[in-house]
Structure formats: structure tokens, C-alpha cells
């Protein structure tokens, strides 16, 4: 049996193609479910430019808010991979990884979790609008599209100071032993790198 870190062997590829429609009893007996966590690459440290920020709500747009990995097949058909899932809701996983990445950049004087009792001048919300494996090309690609919104929390209306959507696409070889944690982590890293570059060109409270 393949180990949990193997992304696609012959058996797991067949499961991607089965998708949401179930599998045979033989497949159910021979293949077990695996749960994954996207892990971003370390962020390069930058000069601190902005005031402290609190990481608030993240939401994932349907159908990508499912706990199962979503797969795009030829013919623009989207299905669920029953045997590969997120270890927690995507909202929570991508929110925590975004907070980690932004903290490592040092762009903000401090990065606080929503549960913190602090009242920083800035708040951050995120929207994950795309989150899937794309099997329509020559090589499969992990796709992550992330919109970040930075809010001015000094005013009652929570004025939006920054809003940008960036996409990361990480292609991989299905014959390699590479984990879903890595391929989605790399795609998320690309999206966050693009967000960081965009932020460095933005005027926010210091």
C-alpha cells in the first residue's frame, strides 16, 4: 500500500477519476483515506512598513469549502476525491498558514490572532475562491486563488484599505512521491508571495 505521503500512484489516480461518485468495494478495502495540511515555504523577511494587524475571518467559496480535495477533470468537470481530504476546514488551515507567512515577512509590526485581546489598527480577512487539483493539462496543477482584504479598524465602518486577489499554480509530476501538503503549500506560497509584493507597493497606516 502506498504511504500517506504518496500523492498519485496507479491506485490513487483511479480514485481521483472516481471522484464524488464513490468506488468499488475492492477500492474501499485496499485504499485508506489520507488527510493533509498545506504548508507554506518560509517567507523572506522584509523591512517593517505597516502597523500591527489582526487576522480575522477566512472563508472558502463553494464548492471548494469541502473537506475533500476537489479535482478538475477534462471537460471542466469538478469532482471530490473521497480518499484525500483536508485535516481541518480549509478556512482554518489557509488562515493559519497566511498568518504564519505574514508574520515571517515582518511587513507588519505584529501579527495577532483573532482570539487575541489586542486592538491593532488593522484587520485582515481572506477569501479562498479557488482550491483544487487541475488534471486538464499535460501535468496536474495545484491551484490556490486567495483574496486578502485589509480593514481600517479605527473607524466603525471598517473601511477597506487593501483588496487584491492572487493565484498560485504549482505543477507536479504524478509519478513522483510528492504529498498534497507540498503541492498545495507551494501554490499557496506563490499566492502569498504575490500578495506580499503587492502590499509593498501599497500605502497603509504605519
What cell was used for 17?
477519476
Host H or E run for residue 25: helix 25-30
Q: pTM higher than 0.75, yes or no? A: yes
Mean confidence (pLDDT) of the chain: 86
- What's the CATH class of domain 10-200? alpha beta
- Give the ranges where 78-179 is alpha helix by DSSP (H): 90-105
Measured CA distances, 110 to 55, 107, 163 (Å): 11, 8, 20
The DSSP symbol for 171 reads E
What cell was used for 8?
498519485
Strand partners, 71: 79, 133
Main-chain phi, psi angles of 104, to 5 degrees: -70, -25
What's the distance, CA 114 to chain centroid? 19
Task: Spell out the domain ranges in the chain.
Answer: 10-200
CA atoms within 13 A on the CB side of 203: 0
CA angle 121, 127, 133 (to 5 degrees): 145
For every residue of 30-93, DSSP letters joined together read H---EEE---PPPPPP----B--EEEEEEEE-TTTTSSEEEEEETTTEEEEEEEEEESS-HHHH
- Rounded Cα distance between 160 and 124, Å, is 10
What is the reported pLDDT for 10? 33
- Rounded Cα distance between 60 and 124, Å, is 15
What is the reported pLDDT for 149? 97
Q: Which residues of the chain have pLDDT under 70?
A: 1-31
Amino acid at each position: 500500500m502506498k504511504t500517506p505521503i504518496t500523492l498519485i500512484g496507479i491506485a490513487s489516480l483511479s480514485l481521483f477519476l472516481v471522484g464524488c461518485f464513490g468506488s468499488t468495494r475492492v477500492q474501499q478495502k485496499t485504499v485508506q483515506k489520507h488527510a493533509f495540511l498545506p504548508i507554506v515555504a518560509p517567507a523572506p523577511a522584509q523591512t517593517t512598513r505597516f502597523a500591527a494587524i489582526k487576522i480575522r475571518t477566512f472563508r472558502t467559496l463553494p464548492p471548494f469549502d469541502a473537506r475533500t480535495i476537489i479535482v478538475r477533470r477534462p471537460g471542466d468537470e469538478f469532482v471530490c476525491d473521497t480518499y484525500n481530504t483536508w485535516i481541518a476546514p480549509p478556512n482554518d488551515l489557509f488562515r493559519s498558514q497566511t498568518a504564519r507567512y505574514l508574520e515571517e515577512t515582518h511587513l507588519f509590526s505584529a501579527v495577532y490572532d483573532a482570539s487575541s485581546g489586542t486592538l491593532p489598527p488593522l484587520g485582515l480577512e481572506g477569501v479562498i475562491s479557488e482550491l483544487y487539483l487541475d488534471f486538464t493539462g499535460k501535468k496536474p496543477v495545484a491551484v490556490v486563488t486567495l483574496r486578502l482584504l485589509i480593514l481600517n479598524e479605527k473607524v466603525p465602518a471598517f473601511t477597506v484599505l487593501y483588496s487584491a486577489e492572487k493565484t498560485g499554480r504549482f505543477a507536479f509530476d504524478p509519478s513522483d512521491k510528492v504529498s498534497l501538503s507540498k503541492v498545495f503549500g507551494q501554490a499557496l506560497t506563490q499566492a502569498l508571495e504575490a500578495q506580499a509584493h503587492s502590499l509593498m507597493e501599497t500605502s497603509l497606516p504605519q
